[in-house]
Structure 1
Amino acid sequence: MFELIQVADNSYYIQSPAKIGLVKLNDADVCLIDAGNDKDAGRKVRQILDTKGWHLKAIYNTHSNADHIGGNQYLQRQTGCKIYAPGIDCDFTRHPILETSFLYGGYPPKDLRHKFLMAKESDAEYLTDEVLPEGFQSIPLPGHFFDMVGFRDGDDVVYLADCLSSRETLEKYQIGFIYDVAAYLETLEMVKTLEARLFVPAHAEATENIAPLAQFNIDKVNEIASKIVEFCRAPICFEQILQKVFNEYGLVMDFEQYVLVGSTVRSYLSWLKDTGSLDVEFADGMLLWRAV
């Protein structure tokens, strides 16, 4: 873990729970794509930089989930590097309590205010084309999170953030976190058409051909959507739908999984209602979902 792997002349990634991209800007300076999940991850990244004699110039965050920005604060304080994040995710990076509050739907209890869901604050600036290194291109990848992006570097290596999961992860956990299902599917359809020297997803193996994995993720979304519609053949409340999802896929409920899977199921419900597969009714002081 935290092994530096070179994939092109100036392109690397650091093998970690969420892969960290590293690109050489010149003989002395490098930038990172994401920063790992916490201070310890940042420290391990710093050790790699020191061993190589590289200076960290900037961190380009793909989105604001804690496992991608958790190392920001440590690395920024140690190196003085700039941090850039896209759109709404920049605000979440500056104020990580927003992410935990968004997931819970209110002020989160301390059970949820931990490093796996709430990173340390970092002094991030908005990502624009003007702050990208020469030869870099940002690629909008909405769906998993608000304004998530990926990056294509000067070696034609594409870093794909969390826009898809590995087959192994989906087969084990079945349901990955999604904020906007419609945007997620559109992103995956776009990703299927991309060509690059190499693709580096954060949570799957690097590959020269990303299309089959993108399609596998699309198929899993459609499978889950079909099951949710089936659960709603008779009017049913959200908590019962969530229970059925957990039971169907053999998931273990705890506070963290309640908010992560629960938020995702709510996103499915919104998408299915917007597309006409579900509707709602109100009875006995409850909102009930039903198939159309």
Structure 2
Amino acid sequence: MKIYNIKGNTYYFETKFAYMPFYKINENEIIMLDSGSYDMDEKVIKELISQYKFIVKAVICTHAHIDHVGNNSWLKEKYNTEIIMPEYESMTCNSMHNIRAYRLPSITKRMEKRLETNISMTDRKISDKDKFVEVCERKFEIVQLYGHTHYHIGIITPDDVFYIGDSLMGRDELNDTKIVYIDDIAIDLETKEKLRRIKCDKYILAHKGIYDDINQIIDDNIDYLENHMKLIIEIIKKPMTMSEILQKIFKKLDISNNVSTYILAEKMIKPYIYYLIDNGVVKIEVIDNSLKYNFNKHNAI
């Protein structure tokens, strides 16, 4: 398995769905930026560690989604890896109860089984006021990149390489992904504009891309969001329930309609609809004892 140098001591390796950055302290000790998904990345990580005889001293996590914290627990158990995470995000990982409370209140018992790898304890918490975190005498800059999740962060390594996490998606991922998950569209759009003002030598995206300049990929990500919101506006031309809207979106985007997919996709699509409601484009009302959504002609985009 191959590792790739970005700049200085900052490297990455590739899995099926992600670029996973890490910082080399020396030939054997590394600091990972996110730990990936257990069911998709665990084998690749173990092969990499074995091949290069790495010891993972710490993981700095951008946020608490399963594909970014899924290997925290076994890394902690095997290497006594220090787990570092934004304070609010860390709450999600404490227990299945918190996963339900903060992320997925509607998950089934079968879905819980997969999410068990999300559970891990955080050794050090990054507050929303922290500008830096020091790990193994190396200083990493912390950038608040809220939107994808409420306390998502970016990390700038000592080599001036900016790991943006999930705040932007690479071009191939934008083309292939049915819908991108974002907790708060309005804040996410502000974050994307904020990224334009942060100048670094290199930028790396979790899913996937390495750039010298990110202005075009920011534009591509904003276009993606706007196109999805236009799709929703086209669908909501009469009072509709959420289930009716989802049914039409699933058909338009060719999303498979099973229980797990429906539950996850509903959570992913709702923030787009709520953004349109907050901006007066869609109105919400109770009709015949049902909560319905309707295009607001007086505030059309």
Q: Secondary structure at the match of 1:119?
A: helix
Mapping for residues 19-168 of structure 1, pairs under 5 Å: 19-26=19-26, 28-38=28-38, 41-42=41-42, 44-96=44-96, 98-99=98-99, 102-106=102-106, 108-115=107-114, 117-124=115-122, 125-128=124-127, 129=130, 131-133=133-135, 134-168=138-172
Range that drifts further, 150-159 or 5-14? 5-14
* Preserved CA contact (<8 Å) 1:192 1:215: no
Who is 1:216 aligned against? 220
C-alpha distance after superposition, 1:169-223 (max 9, x if no partner): 2223331111111111111112233322211101012121222111111011111
- Count of aligned pairs: 289
Question: Match of 2:197?
Answer: 193
Q: Is the 8 A contact 1:112 1:255 kept in 2?
A: no
Distance 1:178 1:100, change over 3 A: same
Question: What is the Cα deviation at residue 114 of structure 1?
Answer: 3.7
Q: Is the 8 A contact 2:13 2:21 kept in 1?
A: yes
Q: Which ranges in structure 2 are unaligned for 5 or more consecutive residues?
A: 297-301
Give aligned-pair identity as a percent. Answer: 24
Structure 1 range deviating more: 216-225 or 97-106: 97-106
* Aligned partner letter, 1:58: A
Q: After TM superposition, where is structure 1 displaced by more than 6 Å over at least 4 residues in a row?
A: none
- TM-score between the two structures when normalised by the length of structure 2: 0.87
Shift of 1:282: 0.5
Q: What is the CA distance between 1:37 and its match in structure 2?
A: 0.7
Partners of 1:170 and 1:119 lie apart in 2 by 26
Q: Which residue is 2:3 aligned to?
A: 4
Gap regions ≥5 residues in structure 1: none
- In structure 2, distance between residues paired with 1:172 and 1:270: 24
- State the AA in 1 paired with 2:158: G
Letter in 1 for 2:134: L
The answer to whether 1:274 aligns with 2:278 is yes
Q: Secondary structure at the match of 1:31?
A: strand
TM-score (norm 1): 0.90
Cα contact 1:22–1:30 (8 A) shared by 2? yes
Q: Shift in Å at residue 61 of structure 1?
A: 0.8
Residue 244 in structure 1 maps to residue 248 in structure 2? yes
